Structure 1
Amino acid sequence: MVSIEVRDSGPGVPALRAAAPDALSGRGLWPVSELADGLTVEDESVGKTVRAAFRVPAGQGDPRGIV
């Protein structure tokens, strides 16, 4: 498994939405949710952390676990 996380200090919980073609924001969560094998949002004392996990095929990556 390979995991990434993004921290945001803004209020609220991210939500999937349909962005207008000329919108400057609102597209980031959709591709992550489509590609990730797991996606979680953790509320923090300030902001939130979004974590995505991706399965890595056996035998791929560095033997120390680094992909």
Structure 2
Amino acid sequence: MPRTGRCGCGRSRRTTCGRVGDDEYGRHLRADLTAAGVAGVLVDPTEPSGPALILVDAAGENMIAVSPRR
């Protein structure tokens, strides 16, 4: 299950925006997110799903590394 589904459960309000591809990986991810109570995940039939690593430092600055799946 993605960490966004577990982070701070019940203690604060969270908003997640996301989009997955209409592929096997995207369908699996969307099912996991739905099971975790995340709503509104969009499906993009024109792009494949792919992982991204988001690092956040103590000052709140982030760095995102994306690995597209083609």
Give the TM-score of the pair, scaled to structure 2. Answer: 0.27
Which of the pair has more CA radius of gyration?
A: 1
Structure with bigger strand share is: 1
Give the TM-score of the pair, scaled to structure 1. Answer: 0.28
Structure with bigger helix share is: 2
Give the structure, 1 or 2, with the largest relative contact order (CA under 8 Å, sep 6 or more).
1
